[in-house]
Amino acid sequence: MDEVEFSAISKVKQNPAIVIRNAYKKYAPNTVVFNGLNLTVPEGKIYGLLGPSGCGKTTLLGCIVGRSFLDSGSVELNVKRRLDLGYMPQFTSLYDRLTIVENFFVYGYIFGLSDEQIRQRAKEFTALLDLPPLESIVENLSGGQQRRVSLAVTLIHDPQLYILDEPTVGLDPVLSLGIWEYLLQQASNGKTVLITTHYIQEARQAHTIGIMRNGKLLAEEPPINLIEKCCCDNLEDVFLQLSERQEAHEEIKTADYPEKSERVSVSFTEDHKRFSKVRFRSIMYKNFMLMRREYVFILLLCILPISQTFFGNYTLGVKPKNLRIGVVNNETPLDKCNDMMMKDCFLNQSHNVFLSCVYLDYLKKESYILVENYNITDDKTLAHDDIRAVMQFPANYTESIIGRYMSGYTATDANVTGSIVDIWIDTSNQFISTCIKFDVARYVFKFIRGALENCGLHPESGFSIPLQYENPIYGDFSGNYSTYVAAIMLTLCCFFLPTMFTGGVIFVERMSGALERLIICGASPIENIVSIMLIQLIIHLFQTIEAMMVTYLWFDNPLEGSAISMTLLMIAIGASGMCFGLMLGISNENMTMTVYAGIGANIAMAFTTGMSWPLEGAHYLLRAVATYLPNTLPVQAAQAIGFKSYSIFHPVVLLGFASSLIWAIVFLAITCVLVSRKNNIWAIQKE
């Protein structure tokens, strides 16, 4: 063999089972995988594909089965149905949390096998491959045992064409010999086998071998012919000799790579059928088996919405209690105020009742703790964290109030000054200071109104109060911020949990390779997505009911509108969250990024939905953008249902539904673009 035919075309006369012509593929401008590769696998034979690690053998098999695509060239198979193709990937790509027999049923159902057929095939492969007990969980098996299960899954539907990526790696030599004997027997029965292996001498049992290096096929002949032509004793020496000759005769150049050329990819007759009940049954079986096995995870999914809404309602927005207020009452000591009640008109018993005590009693009933004789002249007065405000009553407070009432608009300056209470508030905590301001002002009205009514006087007669709080249009005067954020917490919970569950499930299946293997077996992306969404929808409905029961029954937050309308809105929000999680699970290549993106989006939405601070206080550019984010309009719709009893047909509520629907469509559209433009997106590429 004087020269090497670097783009070897098979000289075998049998009908070809696989024909690859002018295959070009690169991952980066300087990373060429195939550079004009030609390969022919004869029908009814075993074809051994040899080559150094990283030469592109696995990538080539991926292009043959449709998991990846050539940049240029063509791939033709003599089988047109996926039922006739059996593919064993380099990694086991099994459902590790399922048993061996459950994996058999998943892949058997994909190809339309009956339960009896699956059990019979499982029995045959248990004997052939010395499989562990079929009820064993796959993740508990050794690496060699998992590869044997993976091989059995590949062959369970008795395909015509076997594509096997290193099936004997890590196996016992005796077991490897048995597998080769089985493959030779299948080839004698008309089956075609394309197999890659690290064990070069093992490939001598193949009818034809192809030696791959630097993106080209160095040779493609029966092994005995190559040994004779190269005058070698074994295939290792043949491979070394061909590699040395290639180095001497040719240097692979990226300039030879065609920028534009026609590409013909493998296709199967059932590819046009995007949804099949048979395949969908397999995927749903897999989902329910995993759910049954992951009972701890399912329990966690049930607990999460309860814990989120429970702790959220107990901690977020609840009005602070037992706040300490320093009191300097120059009218009378606080201990003399105890049990002091204004039974009669304060105009008649001014010497028996101090109005400062009456007013302070209102604050004590609101659970404020009053600390007496707090020195307001001390510079460190409010440096203590336990004191939130200081109040000072003048010595003639009661007399001044009476004088102002008796004199009306002609009251003296002394009466006006003597009826004023001085208050110093610690504003380092804006929410607490706001609560104190609100209560102090509110109880001034209650105190004066009560005192006048006790005298049988109209509150506005002679002592006019220039401001009057009427009953709220929506909500009440409880002062609990939690009633406002209840709908926001519920909305974020119903968006975030489906996001993380869907994104996590998609990512784990991509990382294991099991999702890609299902798709290669014929399961369409639509079937996988619908199955995950259906399972998630069931879980989400249960989570929504739990969260709403805690929010509206346990904590008695206002729900003036229809509970059905609120439930439907939460389901729509959850659907948007599912689609967002699907996009995250598809677009990210590592779990950390998926989790960070999901949590980061949830935190951002918490700030932009008005929970942390009203959107009216945000920068106008942020406010313009935040209005159209996934949860802003749905939050407004939820609050409209909860506080204002708006029906599902009210424009505000309809906008909330429309926002969730539109965002779901946007997330799905982005996912579809990623799927169509990115090769191997259904699997995380492993090193």
Instruction: Please spell the DSSP secondary structure of 468-510, one letter per residue.
Output: -PPPPSSS-SS--THHHHHHHHHHHHHHHHHHHHHHHHHHHHH
Q: What is the mean pLDDT of residues 535-561?
A: 91
CA triple 292-521-685, angle to 5 deg: 85
Of the given ranges (47-51, 223-227, 253-257, 387-391), which has the lowest mean pLDDT? Answer: 253-257
For the chain, the first-to-last Cα distance in angstroms comes to 37
Q: Taking the model in full, what pTM does it have?
A: 0.79
Using 50, 70 and 90 to split pLDDT, how confident is the model at 381? Answer: low
Q: Is the pLDDT of residue 3 over 50?
A: no
CA–CA separation, 639 and 615 (whole Å)? 14
Token pair belonging to 174: 């005796």
CA–CA separation, 361 and 356 (whole Å)? 9
Q: What is the mean pLDDT of residues 241-265?
A: 63
Using 50, 70 and 90 to split pLDDT, how confident is the model at 5? Answer: very low
Q: Is the pLDDT of residue 540 over 70?
A: yes
Give which of 34, 17, 31, 69 is closest to 675, Cα–Cα: 69
Q: What is the mean pLDDT of residues 401-424?
A: 84
Question: What is the tens place of the pLDDT at every residue in 92-140?
Answer: 899 999 999 999 999 999 999 999 999 999 999 999 899 999 999 999 9
CA–CA separation, 44 and 565 (whole Å)? 63
pLDDT confidence of residue 286: 94
**pLDDT > 70 fraction of the chain, expressed in percent and rounded:** 87
Q: What is the mean pLDDT of residues 57-82?
A: 88
Q: What is the mean pLDDT of residues 374-384?
A: 56
Cα–Cα distances in Å, from 175 out to 128, 130, 341? 9, 8, 96
Q: Is the pLDDT of residue 349 over 70?
A: no
What is the CB neighbour count within 10 angstroms for residue 190?
A: 9
pLDDT confidence of residue 376: 58
**Residue entry with tokens 């077991």:** 175
pLDDT confidence of residue 472: 63
Q: What is the mean pLDDT of residues 482-492?
A: 85
Using 50, 70 and 90 to split pLDDT, how confident is the model at 606? Answer: confident
Q: Is the pLDDT of residue 378 over 80?
A: no
The mean pLDDT of the chain is 84
pLDDT confidence of residue 578: 95
Question: What is the tens place of the pLDDT at every residue in 578-603?
Answer: 999 999 999 888 888 888 888 888 88
Q: What is the mean pLDDT of residues 359-386?
A: 73
State the sign of the Cα–Cα–Cα–Cα dihedral 141, 147, 151, 154: positive
Q: Is the pLDDT of residue 189 over 70?
A: yes
pLDDT confidence of residue 314: 82
